[in-house]
Amino acid sequence: MVKSEKWLRNVLIETAYLREGTFTSGSQTKLIDVQIKDGVVAQIKEYQPEQFYESEIDGKGRLLLPTLKEMHCHLDKSKLGVPWRPVTPAQNIVERFTSEVAELDALDLSIEARAKNLINLELAHGVTFFRSHIDVHPAVGQRYLEGVQRAIASYDERFDYELIAFPQHGLLRSNAYNEVDTALKNGATLIGGVDPYSLDGDVEKSLNQTFELAVKHHVPIDIHVHDRGEAGRATFKTLLDYTKQSNWQGQVFVSHAFGLNDFLGEERADVFAQLAKERIGIISSVPINGAVPPLKELQQAGVKVALGCDNIYDSWSPYGTGSVVEKLNRYGEVFNLKTQEELTESLGLLTGGTKTLSTEEDGLWLKTGDVASFLLTEASCAAEFVARQTPVETSFYRGQVAFNS
Ligand SMILES: [Zn+2]
């Protein structure tokens, strides 16, 4: 049964790199019409100005790109919508997360409303997938999870999402095992964690419990690791051991991962190769204050990398625009991406790997059968979108409009 059928007409896609001798000077493009049926691309034709269809949307010649994934946010922590207030002082992470609970409870706006403000902000930047950590521990129980679930339910399937049961106050330190277990029965689809070495004080026991819950509920793991030096190294080695023992390949992610900077020489090459082999993903918000992990080197070693905004006007940070493209743009500056190929293919860091062009293969995107989740922007190519951060005009999620400017 055909549920929905429409044409998105007069949109631009990239077809190949433009060469001037050995220099890649841009991207070759063409205008196309795309037929969308039941949320997937059914037909792709050259743009035909004289043709008209019963149900059609005019793309006005704008560039068509895959929609973006926000791989690290905290929908429960957003303060968007409440009057400006700078971050209150805190001596350390424990003081910060302890005061955060009372701070959020005192706000005049519900968690649903604050979470929706953050979702709307990110939708406007071309996101149609959210991976959000949600605090789950004895100080808040399940109420943040329930609040965010109510917010998401109000959207009537305009995006995909994953919710991580996140023991912000420490799995061991706050005795959060049972609350995390409950959250994984109540709709959380990943298990999180934070610094098992320094916060929980027992990397072995903390990761043991984390993997026990992951295996019990058949869910992936995405754990915050800020620890550096010996603490960071011990955490990565233990994490690799547990991933192997539990056969959890491709199901483990480390957010932040600052400590990867502290592996040197042969050990560095060995650990990066093991991360690639066990398919452990690294997720970064690309901090500019010195601790960003060697993301480009990790990719060259075959490690999967993805980006996320993390803090956006919450108890931890007054910053954040809610644009993952801003993070990719920062990645480009930090790692000195300047060529057409580097900029174009960096888009994969925001799309779960989908690229519009590749040096290895032509006609990568778009194809019939692809999910009809894409955005329109006033740019000539993906590289310009990344470097110039051109605004998103419209986005589609499985064929339905998810955002319109
Ligand atoms: Zn985080």
What's the 405 CA to ligand 1 centre distance in angstroms?
28
**How far is the centre of ligand 1, averaged over its atoms, from the C-alpha of 285 (Å)?**
9
Q: What is the pLDDT of residues 288-327, one digit of tens each?
A: 887 899 999 999 999 999 999 999 999 999 999 999 999 9
Question: Is residue 48 located within the same domain as residue 113?
Answer: no
CATH classification at residue 378: 2.30.40.10
Specify the number of domains making up the chain.
2
Residue 344 counted as domain residue = no
Considering the domain architecture, whether residues 26 and 154 belong to the same structural domain is answered as: no
Do residue 79 and residue 58 come from a single domain? no
Q: What is the pLDDT of residue 38?
A: 95
Residues 250 and 129 in one domain: yes
CA of 256 to the centre of ligand 1 (A): 8
Residues 398 and 401: their CA atoms lie apart, in Å, by: 8
Distance CA 125, CA 116 (A): 14
- Give yes or no: residues 161 and 30 share one domain: no
pTM of the model as a whole: 0.97
Distance 310 CA to ligand 1 centre (A): 5
| Residue 199 tokens, joined | 């916060």
C-alpha 333 – ligand 1 centre gap (Å): 22
At 88-116, the pLDDT tens digits run 999 999 999 999 999 999 999 999 999 99
40, 175: one domain: no
CA of 70 to the centre of ligand 1 (A): 12
* Distance separating alpha carbons of residues 124 and 325, to the nearest angstrom: 11
- State the distance from the centre of ligand 1 to the C-alpha of 268, rounded, in angstroms: 25
Tokens 């701070």 — which residue? 103
**Average confidence (pLDDT) per 10 residues, the chain, 405 residues:** 80 96 97 97 96 92 98 98 96 95 97 98 98 98 98 96 98 98 98 98 98 98 98 98 98 98 98 98 92 96 98 95 98 97 98 94 88 98 98 97 96
Q: In this structure, is residue 340 part of a structural domain?
A: no
Go through 156-185 and write b for each residue having 16 or more CB atoms within 10 A of its CB, e for each that does not: eebbbbbbbbbbbbbbbbbebbebbbebbe
Same domain membership, residue 55 and residue 82? no
Q: Decide the pairing of beta strands 221-225 and 252-256.
A: parallel
Distance 287 CA to ligand 1 centre (A): 12
Ligand 1 centroid to residue 93 C-alpha, Å: 12
The domain in which residue 106 lies consists of 71-319
Class of residue 84 by CB neighbours under 10 A (exposed 0-12, middle 13-18, buried 19+): exposed
For residue 35 the two structure tokens come to 């037929």
pLDDT of res. 1: 45
CA separation for the pair 100, 104 (Å, rounded): 6
Q: Give the pLDDT score at 4.
A: 78
Examine the domain organization and report whether 156 and 60 are in the same domain: no
Among the residues of 259-393, which ranges form H helices? Answer: 265-277, 295-300, 324-334, 340-346, 382-388
